[in-house]
């Protein structure tokens, strides 16, 4: 066991399980998923140890349109590469990995706030490190697809973009084969100086699942990140997405697309943290809430005392479909100095009846007209992701609303 796991477990033991009395958790129906009981169940199975090393197998070329594909099934990472990704480094979580990975993970561990976030770092079931070397600019996107088969799944992924590198990465968690899954995953990201990253995180989970995801990213001088998290369905779902703009010139463009289906509780907590001046962040999260569904969006902009000339914007837009749909939107600002420009906004409404009437008057059936308007609503947040994956996202959103 390396020092990262030891430190993570020490921090885990010091932290508490979240309670519904806590501000950031008081809207989350924890009683439906009972994470503490899930941990006891997990630990009783893994009391003799945890985390078996997974093989990384090279298996030919990636499909057309992808620069690199990594698929996890049956305790194996299978890798497909194009010529331009021969220098990309992959490490299994339980193998020896470069010291810079440990440094980033130690930084992540120090920022953990509760045991749910700490769990997948201290007792992960599997994980992968993806490292893009300095000065490598990859023109086609990379796919990391993880098929979750365990009833309790705790993956952690680390993505490191080296100095002056560029990559578009799609992370896809697929748990459709495991009804009733409890998923608690984590992603740690770092972009070094002038690294240009695009990250899409998508998940496919059964309707009765519990889904938790924590992301923390760090941007160095002149680094940028465009991100999109996609959520649809699940009984209880909560993501915690935090971007730390650590150095001057760093930029974050954060997007979200989510659908709360009937009977589901979907919650997103977003933090744009400016630790250095002359940094910029923009966020836009859009959601559709079906009748009987509920969404909660908590957005926070934090500007440190020395982070002058910060430019930050936070926005949340919700669309309610039918009676019984509910969307709570809670944007906040914590500003440490006056030489900044920080704004936020939130709107909640229904489908435009005039637009719906116009489409139907042209002979388009009601269901198809509604689908067209919903796709148009999401277009703004989906348009910036790799084109090869846009159709998948649009199809999933439409499918979840049938």
> Which residues form the domain of 278?
3-347
Other beta carbons less than 10 A from residue 382's beta carbon = 20
In a domain, 359, yes or no: no
| Domain contains 119 | yes
**Residue 169 and residue 232: Cα distance in Å, rounded?**
20
Considering the domain boundaries, does residue 73 fall inside one? Answer: yes
Q: What is the pLDDT of residue 322?
A: 85
Distance CA(64)–CA(83), nearest Å, equals 12
CA 82 to chain centre: 26
| Residue at 388 is within a domain | no
Report DSSP letters for 173-223, one per residue.
EE-TTSTT-EEEEEEEEEE-TT-EEEEEEEEE--TT-EEEEEEEEEE-TT-
Residues of the chain with pLDDT under 50: none
Pairing of strands 182-191, 196-204: unpaired
Residues 6+ apart with CB under 8 A from 92: 53, 54, 55, 56, 77, 127, 128, 129
Which structure tokens are listed for 193?
A: 């100086």
- Residue 26 forms part of a structural domain: yes
pLDDT at residue 64, as a whole number: 94
CB atoms within 10 A of CB 328: 15
Task: Judge whether 128 lies within some domain.
Answer: yes
Q: Is residue 136 part of a domain?
A: yes
Cβ(281)–Cβ(309) below 8 Å: no
Q: If you count them, how many residues does the chain have?
A: 402
The number of folded domains in the chain is 1
CA 359 to mean position of chain CA atoms = 35
Q: What is the pLDDT of residues 82-129, one digit of tens each?
A: 999 999 999 999 888 899 999 999 999 999 999 999 999 999 999 999
């Amino acid at each position: 066991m390396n020092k990262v796991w030891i430190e993570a477990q020490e921090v885990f033991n010091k932290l508490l399980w979240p309670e519904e009395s806590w501000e950031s958790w008081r809207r989350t129906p924890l009683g439906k998923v009972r994470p503490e009981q899930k941990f006891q169940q997990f630990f009783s199975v893994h009391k003799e140890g945890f985390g078996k090393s997974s093989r990384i197998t090279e298996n030919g070329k990636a499909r057309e349109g992808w620069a690199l594909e990594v698929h996890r099934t049956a305790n194996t990472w299978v890798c497909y590469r194009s010529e331009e990704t021969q220098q990309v480094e992959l490490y299994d979580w339980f193998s020896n990995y470069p010291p810079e990975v440990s440094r980033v993970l130690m930084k992540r561990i120090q920022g953990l706030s509760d045991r749910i976030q700490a769990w997948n770092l201290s007792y992960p079931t599997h994980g992968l490190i993806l490292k893009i070397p300095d000065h490598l600019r990859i023109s086609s996107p990379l796919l990391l697809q993880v098929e979750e088969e365990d009833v309790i799944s705790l993956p952690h992924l680390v993505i490191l973009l080296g100095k002056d590198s560029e990559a578009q990465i799609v992370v896809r968690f697929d748990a459709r084969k495991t009804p009733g899954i409890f998923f608690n995953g984590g992603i740690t990201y770092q972009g070094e100086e002038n690294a240009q990253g695009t990250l899409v995180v998508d998940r496919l989970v059964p309707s009765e699942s519990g889904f938790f995801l924590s992301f923390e990213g760090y941007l160095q001088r002149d680094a940028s990140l465009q991100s999109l998290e996609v959520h649809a369905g699940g009984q209880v779902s909560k993501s915690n997405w935090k971007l730390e703009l650590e150095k001057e010139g760093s930029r974050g463009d954060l997007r979200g697309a989510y659908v709360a289906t009937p009977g589901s509780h979907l919650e997103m907590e977003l933090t744009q943290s400016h630790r250095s001046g002359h940094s910029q962040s923009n966020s836009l999260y859009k959601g559709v809430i079906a009748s009987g569904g509920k969404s909660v969006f908590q957005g926070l902009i934090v500007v440190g005392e020395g982070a002058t000339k910060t430019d930050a914007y936070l926005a949340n837009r919700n669309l309610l479909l039918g009676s019984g749909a509910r969307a709570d939107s809670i944007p906040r600002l914590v500003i440490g100095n006056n030489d900044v420009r920080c704004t936020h906004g939130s709107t909640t409404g229904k489908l435009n009846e005039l637009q719906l009437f116009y489409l139907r008057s042209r002979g388009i059936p009601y269901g198809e007209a509604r689908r067209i308007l919903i796709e148009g609503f999401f277009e703004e947040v989906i348009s910036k992701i790799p084109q090869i994956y846009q159709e998948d996202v649009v199809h999933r959103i439409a499918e979840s609303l049938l």
